[in-house]
Structure 1
Amino acid sequence: MGLFGRRKRAEQEAYEAEPEYDEREGVDDVVPEFEGDLFEYAGPHDVADAPDDGLNRLDLGSIRLPVPDGAQLQVEMDQSKSVVAVHVVTPVGQLTVNAYAAPKSGGLWREVSTELAEQLRNDGATVRTTKGEWGLELLVALGDAHLRFVGVDGPRWMLRGVVAGPPEIADKSAHALYDLVRGTVVARGTQPMPVRTPLPLELPPAIAQHIQAQQQG
């Protein structure tokens, strides 16, 4: 799935009951509310500050995902066979998390979300904004497709998550996305990268071998 180009299909959910988010507000002032020890481990996390929380995470190189039990993985590749995205398919929707190089000053998600909303509207989608756990979120409806986009600015990286789920279980789809994003660990690396460059994804050997066998078969 491209972050800045046209998407092949839309995924999300429209929350008619949620208040519209004033895009003039600064998302840097948003402080999520957690109870007890959850605040200590609330993410996403930079690899330098990854918590010892006991979660089993799928190591994809630049990101490490806490894949829910029973979920299926769909790997998206480009023509050069490089991994573009790994989609986590669950009973409540398809979840996708990607990370990108970002400036030290942060603020990339605000810029990207504005462009993404404009692109989706040009495709005929209805796009609303709301304030969520990490600030600005996009709620998108395009035909029968419904999506929620969230973004998090980290240290020299930006994480974007999206869920595609049926509108009738929108709450469950959103919670699944939040859980995945909270538990994700980002390993940006120290190499210089142009801003917005997708952080490279690498499949674990067992998954890569399985896909190669399927392609050869």
Structure 2
Amino acid sequence: MFSRKRPRHVRQDDAPQSDALAYSMTAGDPQKPEFGPWDEQWAPEGVARLDLGSMQIPAVEGVEVRVQAGQDGSVEHVVLVSGAGAVEFGVFAAPRTDGIWDEVRAEMLQEMKAGGLTVREEHGRYGTELVAQLPDPQGQLVDVRYVGVDGPRWFVRATFQGPVATDSAVSPVLWECLEGLVVARDDEPRPVREPLPVRLPAEMADQAQQQQPD
């Protein structure tokens, strides 16, 4: 997402501030946003979630969570699948008071157009989003929607793939997962755009290690 290389396949008006970012820039009383992604301080209680460290994914019926992790338990890709649609989540460090989605989106738009890809901006629930057609590993064009959400010291990128990228009614549960996502930003100083640490729970990491071939 943040490289200047041409995207190769699907694996990887200005937008208004998100509610979370708008609050982070004020000194008033906390105002809980209408919907997520939530900062940890606003996370609704009583919700079952898969805890991946800085990213906590709500358990939603009909959604399969696929996680690609290294042998040390660090997570490289988090993809949620429902029917013919999928969404990949990524969480990154961001400034406390300035959002980065406008800048990131402009870079992505320029790079994809320079690469001859079909891409356009659309206004959605989270502000300005990017909709594109990218070739999958088999060379078939796939609809993709990039959604960026600026939060207090974090940034979420959601990449919707397949029919859900152009019609949210196809797999509304995937959007429900984005609205219920919780970001737990640590206090470590991190460069802007650095991925926040995402790791498997200890029991899942142990299982993954046991399944590794000798």
TM-score class normalised by the smaller sequence: 0.7 to 0.9
Distance 1:92-1:116 versus aligned 2 partners, 3 A rule: same
Describe the SS at the equivalent of 1:115: helix
Deviation at 1:79, TM superposition (A): 9.0
Deviation at 1:198, TM superposition (A): 0.5
- Find the counterpart in structure 1 of residue 85 from structure 2: 93
- Find the counterpart in structure 2 of residue 49 from structure 1: 42
Describe the SS at the equivalent of 1:89: strand
Distance 1:211-1:172 versus aligned 2 partners, 3 A rule: farther
- Find the counterpart in structure 1 of residue 116 from structure 2: 124
Q: Structure 2: which 5+ residue stretches go unaligned?
A: 20-31, 136-140
Which of 63, 66, 80 aligns to 1:71? It is 63
Deviation at 1:74, TM superposition (A): 2.4
Q: How do 1:56-205 residues align onto structure 2 when only pairs under 5 Å count? A: 56-77=48-69, 82-143=74-135, 144-166=141-163, 170-173=167-170, 175-205=172-202
Deviation at 1:117, TM superposition (A): 2.0
Give a deviation string over 1:28-53, Cα, whole Å, max 9, x none.
2688xxxxxxx96511111112122x
Distance in 2 between residues matched to 1:82 and 1:30, nearest whole Å: 29
Which of 181, 195, 206 aligns to 1:209? It is 206
Deviation at 1:164, TM superposition (A): 0.8
Indicate yes or no: 2:41 matched with 1:27.
Answer: no
Distance 1:71-1:207 versus aligned 2 partners, 3 A rule: farther
Describe the SS at the equivalent of 1:216: coil
Q: Which moved more, 1:102-111 or 1:65-74?
A: 65-74
Q: Structure 1: which 5+ residue stretches go unaligned?
A: 13-24, 32-38
Give a deviation string over 1:35-74, Cα, whole Å, max 9, x none.
xxxx96511111112122x321110100101142243332
Distance in 2 between residues matched to 1:195 and 1:112, nearest whole Å: 11
Deviation at 1:191, TM superposition (A): 1.1
- The residue identity in structure 2 corresponding to 1:183 is G
Give a deviation string over 1:82-102, Cα, whole Å, max 9, x none.
322211122141211111111
- Find the counterpart in structure 2 of residue 4 from structure 1: 3
Distance in 1 between residues matched to 2:49 and 2:180, nearest whole Å: 8
- Report how many aligned residue pairs link the two structures: 196
- Find the counterpart in structure 2 of residue 36 from structure 1: none
The TM-score normalised by the length of structure 2 is 0.78
The TM-score normalised by the length of structure 1 is 0.77
Deviation at 1:4, TM superposition (A): 3.2
Contact residue 77 and residue 83 of structure 1 kept, 8 A: yes
Describe the SS at the equivalent of 1:68: coil
Give a deviation string over 1:145-176, Cα, whole Å, max 9, x none.
11111111100111111111137973335734
Distance 1:213-1:46 versus aligned 2 partners, 3 A rule: same
Distance 1:123-1:90 versus aligned 2 partners, 3 A rule: farther
Contact residue 52 and residue 198 of structure 2 kept, 8 A: yes
Distance in 2 between residues matched to 1:121 and 1:10, nearest whole Å: 16
CA RMSD of aligned residues (A): 2.9
